[in-house]
């Protein structure tokens, strides 16, 4: 091995170049560094030999015990995929329904029942407050949050206590968002918490949540509902007595995907 070509170079040559190119490099390398050329040639030959070893194993019929185990794993895979797909479909159905319902409510002004009206008003109010909180704190440069992400444990504990429900902070790094921090806000029916996330481009989204009034909500879980009428688009849903609104200037599909990610984790 010489200064001109180190071992890593030789590996890359052998593993990444087409045989034609390899031959050319070996030829041109031979006069100046015969030893390296020899090594590359030997490794290259070795690679060809190893890649033709046990090729018969690829054509043999698969033993039934292996097939059974693979099928079991596949069934589990399918079940899991179906689960996620179901969550996705349910969400988009509810999304379509929700958009229709909201516009219907706004246009006809004649909801089916007073419970639905109360519920609709409560939800709308929740989302409106979430949007308001979003618009207030989202642009804030110096104090966007009360408790920074670095004190996550403390933040969760503190907010859980104030909101009166055990809270969890979702991880949204899969969608490119990191937690900035959280703050406590007053809400119509008790304290609300706001978590702020930011992506690399500096775009911020907020997750607003709080216990909902059981009288108007009747503890029913609500699927995702989209509201684009406020200051920024929001997805709203409820789960186990807690209302959530995810708000941000993000296109609907992306916001939906983030909301799904949050939903999966809470």
Contact 224, 256 (CB under 8 A): yes
CA distance 131 to 247: 6
> Smallest distance from the beta carbon of 3 to another protein, in angstroms?
17
Contact 128, 121 (CB under 8 A): no
> Smallest distance from the beta carbon of 7 to another protein, in angstroms?
5
CA distance 217 to 221: 9
Q: DSSP secondary-structure letter at 60?
A: S
Give the residue with the Cβ less far from another protein, 51 or 108: 51
Contact 134, 247 (CB under 8 A): yes
Give the residue with the Cβ less far from another protein, 37 or 184: 37
Ramachandran region, residue 54 (left: φ > 0; alpha: ψ -120 to 50; beta: rest):
left
> Smallest distance from the beta carbon of 157 to another protein, in angstroms?
28
Neighbours of 24 (CB within 10 A): 12
The dihedral sign for the CA sequence 168, 242, 185, 191: negative
Give the residue with the Cβ less far from another protein, 78 or 96: 78
> Smallest distance from the beta carbon of 87 to another protein, in angstroms?
12
> Smallest distance from the beta carbon of 66 to another protein, in angstroms?
6
Give the residue with the Cβ less far from another protein, 59 or 141: 59
Give the residue with the Cβ less far from another protein, 47 or 128: 47
> Smallest distance from the beta carbon of 44 to another protein, in angstroms?
10
Binding site residues, another protein, CB under 8 A: 7-8, 11, 15, 42-43, 46-47, 49-51, 53-55, 57-60, 62-63, 65-67, 69-74, 76-77, 80-81, 84
Tokens of 180: 């900035």
Give the residue with the Cβ less far from another protein, 177 or 244: 177
């Amino acid at each position: 091995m010489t200064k001109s070509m180190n071992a890593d170079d030789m590996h890359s040559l052998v593993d990444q170049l087409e045989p034609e190119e390899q031959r050319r490099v070996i030829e041109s390398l031979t006069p100046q560094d015969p030893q390296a050329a020899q090594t590359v040639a030997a490794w290259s030959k070795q690679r060809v030999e190893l890649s033709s070893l046990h090729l018969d194993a690829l054509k043999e019929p698969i033993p039934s015990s292996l097939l059974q185990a693979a099928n079991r794993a596949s069934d589990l895979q399918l079940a899991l995929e179906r689960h996620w797909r179901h969550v996705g479909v349910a969400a988009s159905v509810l999304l379509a329904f929700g958009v229709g319902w909201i516009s219907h409510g706004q246009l006809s002004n004649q909801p089916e029942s007073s419970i639905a009206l109360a519920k609709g008003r409560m939800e709308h109010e929740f989302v409106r407050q979430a949007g308001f909180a979003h618009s207030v704190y989202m642009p804030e440069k110096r104090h966007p949050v009360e408790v920074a992400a670095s004190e996550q444990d403390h933040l969760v504990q503190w907010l859980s206590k104030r909101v009166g429900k055990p809270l969890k902070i979702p991880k949204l790094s899969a969608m490119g968002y990191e937690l900035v921090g959280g703050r406590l806000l007053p809400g119509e029916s008790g304290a609300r918490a706001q978590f702020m996330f930011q992506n690399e481009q500096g775009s911020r989204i907020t997750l607003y949540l709080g216990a909902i009034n059981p009288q108007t909500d009747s503890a029913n879980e609500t699927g995702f509902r989209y509201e684009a009428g406020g200051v920024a688009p929001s997805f709203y849903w409820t789960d186990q007595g807690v209302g959530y609104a995810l708000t941000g200037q993000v296109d609907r599909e992306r916001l939906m995907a983030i909301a799904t990610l949050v939903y999966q984790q809470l």
